[in-house]
Amino acid sequence: MWQLKKAYYRSFQVIMKYAMFIFDWSEPELLEGPGAVKRLPALIKSKGIRKVLVVTDKGLMGLNLLDGLFGALTEAGVDYAVFDGVQPNPTIDNIEDARAMYLENGCEAVVAFGGGSPMDCAKAAAARVTNPKTSVRKMRGTLRVFHKPALIFAVPTTAGTGSETTVAAVVSDPETHEKNPINDPKLRPKYAVLDPELTVGLPPHITSTTGMDALTHAVEAYIGRSNVRSTEAYAEKAVKLIFGNLEKVYANGKDIEGRNNMLKASYYAGMAFTRAYVGYVHAIGHNLGGMYGIPHGLAMSVILPYVLDYYGKTAQFRLARLAEISGACTLGSDETKAAAFIQEIRDMNARMNIPDGFEQIKEEDIPTLVKRALKEANPLYPVPKIMNEADCEAVIRQLMK
């Protein structure tokens, strides 16, 4: 029975890989460089848009990080409403509240401003605006956003999620403590702003975990079975930039060049995984986040080396290549180089004070976590090696502290 299941999973993944060729994978139109966010309102106005909904969170509002955008919107003659109720793991209620504000204020587009949570909220709300009869729960999965969402302009303030260029949004369900991943090319923003000045104020622990989130995107895409030449190239660029810049900006947050490089790395990693998919790091991490509220970037940082260990020989060739590109190891066998790459991830985590496990995981929750993680991953994620329940449980138990 298990062999039949694995054969079905692999067949599904092959079909999905080739089905992806029918979609438009054009990159978002970018505004880049220091101060780029102030050029966004002119772009919005040039599209004939008179009013936008800005989706963000109270933390960013409290830091006055949006003041430059608001001033430029007013100067350009673009009206705006602000939804700042996004929670760290946006909920279905967040989505519905943002959608209601969009409609009540007669908005014509959405500006997603922030990290992964505002991005996910904005994407899902934009989809709900144009899909009023399709609930968030019904959008869960792949290709279930039937009508094109409201136009989205994405402004990331962290260098991690790559959401400004991905087809994904993840929404928490507070009733079931599950996360609902929504994957559809229609969710991909058409315009994005990469302004390093917006990331200068990030605390070190946010810098580190969001950076490792970007690394996870690149690595999971690269070692999976749905790569094409473009996704391989994006992943390689991202890994090289992250290894060369993450610890620099962790130590010195005002390093504008390093911040800019990390934004590009996050963007490239997003370009890679939005077509090549992710893997079990995300499947397990999403469900730890849904169950315990663990921040996504932290979950990715901690889980990544454990899942790479699980893949073993099935990922060695790819990881060896990343070891060479990153500078983690350039000599020896593929096994030696792959092991050095995984160890360097652990060492980077330690140097940036990222823990190696979670105290929140409860014994009685493990069966539910396993079931939900495998439901998300199988058959969709084209991983190097397919997990069964025992495999998944073993990895989760390694994460317990």
Q: Is the pLDDT of residue 250 over 90?
A: yes
Q: Is 308 among the domain residues?
A: yes
Q: Which domain holds residue 56?
A: 33-199
- Closest by alpha carbon to 28, among 125, 164, 198, 122? 164
How large is the average pLDDT for residues 10-32? 92
188 and 234 part of one domain: no
279 and 333 part of one domain: yes
Cα dihedral value 147, 148, 152, 154, nearest 10: 90
Residues above pLDDT 90, as percent of the chain: 93
Q: Is the pLDDT of residue 24 over 90?
A: no
Q: Is the pLDDT of residue 8 over 90?
A: yes
Q: Is the pLDDT of residue 88 over 90?
A: no
Structural domain total, the chain: 2
Domain boundary among 179, 199, 219: 199
pLDDT of residue 367: 97
| Range in 18-22, 189-193, 234-238 with the lowest mean pLDDT | 18-22
Residues 6+ apart with CB under 8 A from 114: 55, 56, 57, 60, 86, 155, 156, 157, 158
295 and 344 part of one domain: yes
Banded pLDDT at 26 (limits 50, 70, 90): confident
**Residue 181 Ramachandran class (φ > 0 left, ψ -120 to 50 alpha, else beta):** beta
209 and 195 part of one domain: no
Q: Is the pLDDT of residue 271 over 90?
A: yes
Banded pLDDT at 328 (limits 50, 70, 90): very high
Indicate if the alpha-carbon torsion angle 8, 11, 17, 23 is positive or negative: negative
193 and 113 part of one domain: yes
Q: Is 40 among the domain residues?
A: yes
Q: Is 19 among the domain residues?
A: no
Q: Is the pLDDT of residue 363 over 90?
A: yes
Residues 6+ apart with CB under 8 A from 129: 99, 102, 103, 149, 150
How large is the average pLDDT for residues 233-248? 98
If DSSP codes are grouped into helix, strand and coil, which group holds residue 79? strand
Residues above pLDDT 70, as percent of the chain: 100
292 and 209 part of one domain: yes
Banded pLDDT at 179 (limits 50, 70, 90): confident
pLDDT of residue 40: 98
Q: Is the pLDDT of residue 177 over 90?
A: no
- Chain mean pLDDT for the chain: 96
pLDDT in tens, 200-231: 989 999 999 999 999 999 999 999 999 999 99
Banded pLDDT at 89 (limits 50, 70, 90): confident
Judge residue 234's burial from the number of C-beta atoms within 10 Å of its C-beta, 0-12 exposed, 13-18 middle, 19 or more buried: buried
225 and 366 part of one domain: yes
329 and 268 part of one domain: yes
How large is the average pLDDT for residues 126-134? 97
pLDDT of residue 287: 94
Alpha-helical regions (H) of 140-223? 204-223
Q: Is 100 among the domain residues?
A: yes
How large is the average pLDDT for residues 243-265? 98
139 and 284 part of one domain: no
Domain boundary among 199, 218, 246: 199
Q: Is 10 among the domain residues?
A: no
Determine the residue type at 102. Y
Output the pTM of the full model: 0.94
Q: Is 5 among the domain residues?
A: no
Measured CA to CA, the distance from residue 88 to residue 99 in angstroms comes to 18
- Give the domain CATH number at 122: 3.40.50.1970
Q: Is the pLDDT of residue 38 over 90?
A: yes
- Give the domain CATH number at 312: 1.20.1090.10
Q: Is 20 among the domain residues?
A: no
